[in-house]
Structure 1
Amino acid sequence: MLVKNPRPAYRKWLKRGALILFVVEAASFVGTYAVWHKVNTERDYRKYLRDNYPSVLEVYYRTGEIIDSQSKIRQIDQAYWAKEGV
């Protein structure tokens, strides 16, 4: 007679935990990319960050300067805001 051995309960929890972790990680990646894209494409949003969260904007500028040493986004933004008087 063939005897069936039930799967251990921890395997079910392990699979669920891995799935939840994967979904949370994917959602975090999508959210982070969406914020980065908004900062990268909208000068008004960068101004909002400058006024309310200057450390976040500084990290954005430094990261851009590390990736591309020829990056002039900081200087362009500062010149634009100086010209606008804000």
Structure 2
Amino acid sequence: MTRRVLVLLCLLALNVVSAIAVVQSTQKTRELFHQLQSARLTRDQLTTEWAQIQLEDSAWASPDRVSQVARNKLGMIQPHDYVVLGNKP
């Protein structure tokens, strides 16, 4: 009978250890899932920011805008406009 009780105690101990391992594994899975969700959120925010930066970059670098800034702020004119006005270098 002692052997039988010993086997049952060992099985009980193994069962308790197994249950604790399941709980720890579940907790770790939840933590990792939370980290994954946070990383996905960060990725989505960075993707949106990158798209906005690309849009802004294309707007700043558009040929019409560059031409307008060159004329208005720098006083530049295209060479054929200079010749048409009757001015010669």
Give the TM-score of the pair, scaled to structure 2. Answer: 0.45
- Larger gyration radius, structure 1 or structure 2: 2
Between structures 1 and 2, the one with greater helix share: 2
